[in-house]
Amino acid sequence: MQINYHLLDVCTDTQFRGNPLAIVPKADLLNAEIMQKIAREFALSETAFISQPVTKRNTAKIRIFTPAGELPFAGHPTIGTAVFLGLTQRATAIRIEEKVGVITCVMDKLGKKLGEANFSVPHLPEEVGTAPDKVAIAQTLGLAPEQIGCAVFEPARYSGGLEYMLVPVQDRKALSSIKLNQRGWTDVYGTGHGASVYAFTLNNEKNGPDFLARMFDLTLPGTEDPATGSAAAALIGLVAKNIQQETGQFNYTVEQGIDMGRPSLIKMQVGKRDGKLVHGGIGGKAILIGQGVLELDWVPTI
């Protein structure tokens, strides 16, 4: 059985930067077991499998797999899939069915192989638990306790479709100096996706991004991710909580992947009304870099 696939770099407009993504565009006959095996074979942070939508007015249905398991939602696969579908179907409004729900993306074509997609987060981010103490967090990241926290931000657990432990750190130097101590990691953060740590700090340089970030997950190849839209979606909740203005729309950029040699840029949009978060948006660019064919010794069960 031959299955085509495509490779994109996401949250960047330059090849070999950003977060790599594999897309399998005609995956209707593939079951979850073979999807998982393919994702493990690619060994990327995520692989997206596209099939026909359940509802005709939607563009496509996707399932997202890491090498370790399936996700109900992920940011960079959503951006990458929306750009891929927009470029190949010449569409600007892309409605994607994911396990978390239907996500509507606006796709702008920027070139033959390049596009930008923006979407509203599937669930407004909310605080979902308590944070460990700073001493425990610092030990897992190889930092001093006084390096945990940044301006008004303190550690917190948030989810905008996937749960993350959000850890503000003192500055860029502290962020770059993180060295994971995996021993005792589950004792501090637990298991499952809630054990993923999104460390971030404010960027004080002019004309640069608003936030700098790194995402760590022990189940990922190399334990670090170069661009994590679902973590930025969670961060929207913490940012909204700390914005003093009661009403307005606020735009931010998050730079990630610098310490991995794969710089990425994620757009983040926060909307508040009367002190409440009413809108969260994520966006980024993606560029096609290649395609190929999988030769599978596998026969689908129909």
C-alpha–C-alpha distance, residues 272 and 247, integer Å: 5
C-alpha–C-alpha distance, residues 36 and 110, integer Å: 32
In a domain, 223, yes or no: yes
Count structural domains, the chain: 2
In a domain, 133, yes or no: yes
CA dihedral 171, 166, 121, 190 (to 10 degrees): 150
135 and 111, same domain (yes or no): no
130 and 155, same domain (yes or no): yes
In a domain, 32, yes or no: yes
181 and 265, same domain (yes or no): yes
Containing structural domain, residue 211: 126-284
205 and 148, same domain (yes or no): yes
| Active-site residue, selected from the candidate residues 33, 41, 46, 163 | 46
In a domain, 300, yes or no: no
174 and 222, same domain (yes or no): yes
In a domain, 302, yes or no: no
Helix H or strand E encompassing 79: helix 75-89
Q: Which residue has the tokens 């393919």?
A: 38
In a domain, 19, yes or no: yes
In a domain, 272, yes or no: yes
148 and 81, same domain (yes or no): no
280 and 290, same domain (yes or no): no
Q: What is the pLDDT of residue 206?
A: 85
259 and 157, same domain (yes or no): yes
222 and 257, same domain (yes or no): yes
140 and 280, same domain (yes or no): yes
Residue 62 structure tokens: 């996707």
What are the pLDDT tens digits along the chain (302 aa)? Answer: 899 999 999 999 999 999 999 999 999 999 999 999 999 999 999 999 999 999 999 999 999 999 999 999 999 999 999 999 999 999 999 999 999 999 999 999 999 999 999 999 989 999 999 999 999 999 999 999 999 999 999 999 999 999 999 999 999 999 999 999 999 999 999 998 889 999 999 998 888 999 999 999 999 989 999 999 999 999 999 999 999 999 999 999 999 999 999 999 999 999 999 999 999 999 999 999 999 999 999 878 75
51 and 130, same domain (yes or no): no
In a domain, 301, yes or no: no
Q: Are 199 and 167 spatial neighbours (Cβ–Cβ below 8 Å)? A: yes
Provide the CATH number for the domain around residue 31.
3.10.310.10
46 is catalytic: yes
246 SS3 class = coil
Q: What is the pLDDT of residue 302?
A: 58
100 and 173, same domain (yes or no): no
pTM of the model: 0.96
Q: Which residue has the tokens 């192989």?
A: 113
